[in-house]
Amino acid sequence: MGMGLLASRAMRPTASSLLNSQNPRSLFFLGRAVSSTPELQNPEQSAAAQAQPEPTPDLPPRTPVAGARVHFPKLEDAIEVFVDGYPVKIPKGMTVLQACEVAGVDIPRFCYHSRLSIAGNCRMCLVEVEKSPKPVASCAMPALPGMKIKTDTPLAKKAREGVMEFLLMNHPLDCPICDQGGECDLQDQSMAFGSDRGRFTEMKRSVVDKNLGPLVKTVMTRCIQCTRCVRFATEVAGVEDLGMLGRGSGEEIGTYVEKLMTSELSGNVIDICPVGALTSKPFAFKARNWELKGTESIDVTDAVGSNIRIDSRGPEVMRIVPRLNEDINEEWISDKTRFCYDGLKRQRLNDPMIRGADGRFKPVSWRDALAVVAEIAHQVKPEEIVGIAGQLSDAESMMALKDFLNKLGSNNVWCERNGMFADADLRSGYLMNTSIAELEKADVFLLVGTQPRVEAAMVNARIRKTVRATHAKVGYVGPPADLNYDHQHLGTGPQTLVEIAEGRHFFSSALLNAKNPVIIVGAGLFNRKDKDTIFSSVETIAKKANVVRSDWNGLNVLLLSAAQAAALDLGLVPESEKCLESAKFIYLMGSDDANLEKIPDDAFVVYQGHHGDQSVYRANVILPASAFSEKEGTYENTEGCTQQTMPAVPTVGDARDDWKIIRALSEVAGVRLPYDTIGAIRSRIKTVAPNLLHVDEREPATFSTSLKPQSTHEMSSEPFATAVENFYMTDSITRASKIMAQCSALLLKK
Amino acid sequence: MASVVKSALKAIRERGVGTFLRELKEEGYAKCLLDGNLLQTKIHNIGARLVGVDKFGNKYYERLEDTQYGRHRWIEYAEKDRYNASQVPPEWHGWLHFITDHTGDELLMLKPKRYGIEHKQNFSGEGDEYIYHSKGHALNPGKRDWTRYQPWQPTKA
Amino acid sequence: MTTLQRSVWDLNLNLDFGRDLATSLSWDWNWFFKMLARLAAGRLLEIRQAFRQPSRSFSTALNYHLDSPDNKPNLPWEFTNANKEKVKEILSHYPSNYKQSGIIPLLDLAQQQNGGWLPVSAMNAVAKIVEVAPIRVYEVATFYSMFNRTKVGKYHLLVCGTTPCMIRGSQEIEDALLKHLGVKRNEVTKDGLFSVGEMECMGCCVNAPMITVADYSNGSEGYTYNYYEDVSPKRVVEIVEMLRRGEKLPPGTQNPGRIRSGPEGGNTTLLTDPKPPPCRDLDAC
């Protein structure tokens, strides 16, 4: 019966077409496999199954490990293997371990990681294969047709037990003081597969700890030499610093010459390390993982919207770890995402404050603060009112801000990174239309004024993955940058773009010959006056190289901050470009990077936000708001995927959610906004940008940019500027973080 | 009983009535009249073997004959009015509870020199200073600050 | 056999006896406890001895780099012009996209040029030539014990310490060498001429014990790596002195009664031509 089920799962036309529609990359972990009753739909199959000479009647039905799912590029490439007598169809080239996973058997492993190359050096995944004289390391052994794999025979169990004994030989018994305790692969697997005693009575070896920088703590004596960190650093992070030094019992992981790990992804080695050799330095000895409450949320420190889990204990965010999302961050996150959390505890605004006549701030009650703001708002002319949303604002609060200012009669509201010349007319003009996951299909990249490594580390990881896998060409136009893959630096300014557009540049032939070319334009260009001209020359290149087709849209804009896409979707675009200079009443909603020097001296500035960062020093009234870890908010990432944060911890002090503050202020000001709940505000959003309600869905832009009118601006020859100067400090949270300050002091030192 | 009277008379004869009475009081015989436990112990002590006296003055007795097995070792506390089991120092604990046959005097040498600390009886419930207040309690002198964030201070004018 | 092993063996034996001959032998508890105590005492002694040694003596040096005046990453290092030709020749053996295959011969060349040891800057130079990250070269250099990452003498004497040589007295040979030169293992004599190291089996077990002399005194052109077999503590001292005087001495077995690996006093077997293997008579077919 089991054979019939599996066979029909692979052969049934409906199922296979469904599977084929998936990306070949998403071989695993996509979701649960299709389950159905094949006997009903496929009588001859089940009849055949019943006619099998060797039925396996007492086998319980199995579900693939972690929803592992099989994709057959070509149906004839399918082979059948038997795992514990259970037949399973897999594509050619899969390893024995993967076959076991599909069959629902979880093989213990340390060195094998599905996103890294195969090393085969821990030997934990030994299984018995019929007719093989020795146990087989399943992670490195390709499955062959008809292979009979046995995972729970005495031989396999004894082999694992022996390997475990060897691994524990030199492993210190310091679990009680080890930060990995509780989430340690070695702990778990020694419980499950290990022996209850060891025979090793000699002295254990000890290894000198390495200094890998302010983020990763090393206790190298605990290392079991799985080389996952070495492979991660080499393959994913792109910093070939780590290596396996020495041999035999003297073997150790290290850099040989002392060197810090200067990668923006270095924190991921903490997750990848199966033991406590590499742990988080800021989290060291702070909490045990079983004390923590995990909240599935979204990162807001860049525009990628990496999926994270905020681990909190009581009112405190203890750490941030990645969550699996194949389409966005796979299972990595950048160091900024992972370690910015201590910024959530510092420099917080916890009381409404009003600047007195003496220039000093005085804590006041919400009632007083709102009354003062409402009074001033009514004293100025409507066109002198300006609102700026910050980098970390969620869609709900931006909607409320825009509605509030509109009710006051002003339409001068925008999001700080989008700049004054933002164009929200065409959605494809500000989104990453290819989507992050589809970047892997590209064969030529043209990066215009963007340095993905500092602007969006996860996008950079995808580009690097593509370059590594397919040797895709990368051309880069912009200031000299340190990209961690092979690239050609084509030029520094718009002039190069014109050359490529006119076909005078050597790179234009590469673009023309490309099958799936990708052009990524940095959002740092949004602040340039000649933005439209640059975009039109990019569009000329796109048109010539056939970048935008019906089946492929390779024209992308890489945004810089989490609020940008939603702000443009909601139409947060200033009415006049000069409004800031003539403003009398400025409402800064978490905006710390607006041009403060442009604000006239007599303007009344309200700062609503969670951190005492840059703008508070200019503010007249401070309204404390909650940070992303404390509220439910909708964010749209750079590829147009809507995601929501979830509150992990309570807000500090007297702070309130952004949209609630504006709602309360509107009532005091006499222009009551018609929503009282987050549901109501979302139904208001639905009328403006319905895609912001389709959570976890990527809404592609409908119109291409070709509809845009030609720009008349003169293109300046000024070279492109660096959009993000310091990777580790980009917004109010990361600027408040001590760890980030340490990182920028140590790691950015050249 | 007769032997008790005989030894008492002998003591009076040797040391005089005043000394005898004072000793009676110091040894807690006066308290016996009100404290049944003490009286019981004192009666028990008759004919028992004094095994040792610890540094606090607690006396440890043993009597192997004519006693119920398991009740053949006991202590007479030095303190006569408020005595409790926490006054037994650790070296005598084992002997008293039949964990070992080594007396406290023998086990005293096992006390770690470097980090062994002096035994202190448990003063729980003996006044505010001995009552445990949790880390957040107002009466805890080292009251912990549970604020987990650092507010922004408006320093700059 | 150590005390521990012996007592464990005793215990096992006794347990077996106890099980099998329960009627004839009574189990002596007193003896058992005494034995346990002896066992514990023996173990304690072992632990103490393990602690007494300041560090385990490995045949290779540390697995990480420590800066010293003559070994720093920023010191310039380059192949000589003659060796640059050799580098080209070595690289020509490998396909251009697998240049890293040449790491080992290039490191060897660099070591010969640099007087027998590899500074970090030499490894960096090799990494540059084969176009890999320096760490990949460090990995290779730390793996192979014949790459010396600290300074060695002009004559680097390597004593084989593997089982056959050990049984034939390699320890005495090393002791004699160290005593004669007045150095510790992996230490260079004051005049910079000699250093003594340990290595693993070089396949001369039939002529054990043996030492190897890596001669870096003539640069990479006159570099030799000779085996001296059948040595004795007296003979190695003689070899050292001959090397010091710059005399040539024949490599191979140092026993005058032997020819190569042959037995002392001439062959005893295979004295005639061996009989050819039985074949089918092709003509008869």
A254-269 per-position pLDDT tens digit? 999 988 888 999 999 9
Query: Is residue C107 within 8 Å of C124, Cβ to Cβ?
Result: no
pLDDT (0 to 100) of residue A379: 93
Cα separation values, B69 from A221, B22, B63, B74, B97, Å: 54, 35, 10, 12, 12
Do C233 and C179 sit in the same domain of this protein? yes
Query: Is residue A555 within 8 Å of A482, Cβ to Cβ?
Result: no
Structure tokens at C9: 């063996």
Residue B150 Cα to chain centre, angstroms: 49
The CA distance from A163 to the nearest CA of chain C, in Å, is: 23
**Rounded CA gap, A98 and C162, in Å?**
42
Do C246 and C164 sit in the same domain of this protein? yes
Tokens 């990368």 sit at which residue?
A474
The CA distance from A244 to the nearest CA of chain C, in Å, is: 6
Side-chain-side CA neighbours of residue A368 (13 Å)? 12
User: In this structure, is residue C36 part of a structural domain?
Assistant: yes
Q: Any chain A CB within 8 A of the CB of B156?
A: yes
User: In this structure, is residue C118 part of a structural domain?
Assistant: yes
Contact A360 B150 (CB under 8 A): no
**Rounded CA gap, A419 and A557, in Å?**
15
Higher pLDDT, C53 or A511: A511
Range of C27's domain? 23-50
The CA distance from A232 to the nearest CA of chain C, in Å, is: 14
User: In this structure, is residue C3 part of a structural domain?
Assistant: no
User: Is A671's pLDDT higher than 60?
Assistant: yes
Structure tokens at B18: 């005043």
Do C83 and C111 sit in the same domain of this protein? yes
Contact B148 A611 (CB under 8 A): no
CB pairs under 8 A between A and B: 41
Reported in sequence order, the residue ranges of A187-266 that DSSP labels E, i.e. its strands, are: 216-218, 243-245, 252-254
Query: Is residue A159 within 8 Å of A126, Cβ to Cβ?
Result: yes
Residues of C near A (Cβ–Cβ under 8 Å) read 43, 50, 58, 60, 63-65, 73, 120, 132-136, 138-139, 142-145
Mean pLDDT confidence for A67-87? 84
Mean pLDDT for chain A?
87
Residues in A 337-396 with any Cβ partner in B closer than 8 A: 344-351, 353, 358-361
Mean pLDDT for chain C?
83
The CA distance from A246 to the nearest CA of chain C, in Å, is: 5
What is the tally of structural domains in chain C? 3
Mutate to test the interface with C, among A206, A257, A484 (most CBs of C within 10 A): A257
**Rounded CA gap, A385 and A579, in Å?**
8
pLDDT (0 to 100) of residue C43: 67
Do C86 and C43 sit in the same domain of this protein? no
DSSP strand pairing (A413-415 vs A444-448): unpaired
Cβ contact A–B (≥3 pairs, < 8 Å): yes
Contact B151 A345 (CB under 8 A): no
Contact C142 A242 (CB under 8 A): no
Per-residue pLDDT of A500-511, as tens digits, reads 988 888 999 999
Give the DSSP H/E element, type plus range, for residue B96: helix B90-96
A17-21, A495-499, A666-670: least confident range: A17-21
Contact B149 A349 (CB under 8 A): no
Q: Any chain A CB within 8 A of the CB of B155?
A: no
**Rounded CA gap, A230 and A250, in Å?**
17
Beta partners for residue A89, in sequence order: A80
The CA distance from A486 to the nearest CA of chain C, in Å, is: 13
Neighbouring chains of C at 3+ CB pairs within 8 Å? Answer: A
Contact C143 A242 (CB under 8 A): no
User: In this structure, is residue C15 part of a structural domain?
Assistant: no
Residue A224 main-chain phi, psi, to 5 deg: -110, 15
Do C199 and C225 sit in the same domain of this protein? yes
Closest Cβ–Cβ partner in A348, A617, A652 for B156: A617
Residues of A in contact with B148 (CB under 8 A): 314-316, 345
Mean pLDDT confidence for A521-541? 88
Tally of CB atoms within 10 A around A40: 8
Mean pLDDT confidence for A549-574? 92
**Rounded CA gap, A162 and A182, in Å?**
23
Opening angle at CA A533, ends A530 and A537, nearest 5: 140
Higher pLDDT, A257 or B1: A257
> Edge-to-edge strand order for the sheet containing A78-83?
A86-91, A78-83, A148-150, A126-129, A136-137
pLDDT-based confidence at residue A715 (cuts at 50, 70, 90): confident
Do C146 and C165 sit in the same domain of this protein? no
Residues of B in contact with A314 (CB under 8 A): 148
Helix (H, G, I), strand (E, B) or coil at C229: strand
Contact B148 A358 (CB under 8 A): no
pLDDT-based confidence at residue A10 (cuts at 50, 70, 90): very low
The CA distance from A613 to the nearest CA of chain B, in Å, is: 9
**CATH code of residue C170:** 3.40.30.10
User: In this structure, is residue C1 part of a structural domain?
Assistant: no
pLDDT-based confidence at residue A705 (cuts at 50, 70, 90): low
Do C169 and C243 sit in the same domain of this protein? yes
Do C40 and C113 sit in the same domain of this protein? no
Mean pLDDT confidence for A563-572? 93
pLDDT-based confidence at residue C49 (cuts at 50, 70, 90): low
Choose the final residue of a domain: C123, C151, C179: C151
Question: How deeply is A303 buried, as exposed, middle or buried, from its count of CB atoms within 10 A (0-12, 13-18, 19+)?
Answer: buried
Helix (H, G, I), strand (E, B) or coil at C157: strand
Query: Is residue A628 within 8 Å of A634, Cβ to Cβ?
Result: no
Q: Any chain A CB within 8 A of the CB of B5?
A: no
> Cα-Cα-Cα-Cα dihedral of C14, C15, C21, C22, to 10°?
120
Tokens 């409450």 sit at which residue?
A293
Do C159 and C145 sit in the same domain of this protein? no
User: In this structure, is residue C239 part of a structural domain?
Assistant: yes
Per-residue pLDDT of A440-486, as tens digits, reads 999 999 999 999 999 999 999 999 999 999 999 999 999 998 899 99
The CA distance from B146 to the nearest CA of chain A, in Å, is: 9
Do C100 and C159 sit in the same domain of this protein? no
**Rounded CA gap, A310 and A298, in Å?**
9
A409-423, B21-35, B43-57, C210-224: least confident range: B21-35
User: In this structure, is residue C144 part of a structural domain?
Assistant: yes
Helix (H, G, I), strand (E, B) or coil at A521: strand
Contact A353 B150 (CB under 8 A): no
Name the residue in chain A with its Cα closest to that of C120.
A257
Contact C134 A245 (CB under 8 A): no
pLDDT (0 to 100) of residue B133: 82
Q: State the ipTM, two decimals.
A: 0.84
Do C41 and C80 sit in the same domain of this protein? no
Do C101 and C184 sit in the same domain of this protein? no
Choose the final residue of a domain: C31, C50, C69: C50
Neighbouring chains of A at 3+ CB pairs within 8 Å? Answer: B, C
**CATH code of residue C76:** 1.10.10.1590
Query: Is residue A233 within 8 Å of A464, Cβ to Cβ?
Result: no
pLDDT-based confidence at residue A700 (cuts at 50, 70, 90): confident
Name the residue in chain A with its Cα closest to that of C66.
A257
pLDDT (0 to 100) of residue A473: 93
User: Is C129's pLDDT higher than 80?
Assistant: yes
Choose the final residue of a domain: C118, C133, C151: C151
CB pairs under 8 A between A and C: 58
Residues of B in contact with A361 (CB under 8 A): 154
User: In this structure, is residue C2 part of a structural domain?
Assistant: no
Opening angle at CA A57, ends A54 and A62, nearest 5: 110
Residue A254 main-chain phi, psi, to 5 deg: -175, -175
Cα separation values, B36 from B33, C19, C39, Å: 7, 58, 54
Name the residue in chain B with its Cα closest to that of A344.
B149
Cα separation values, A428 from A431, A592, A708, C75, Å: 5, 27, 11, 53
User: Is A750's pLDDT higher than 60?
Assistant: no
The CA distance from A372 to the nearest CA of chain B, in Å, is: 19
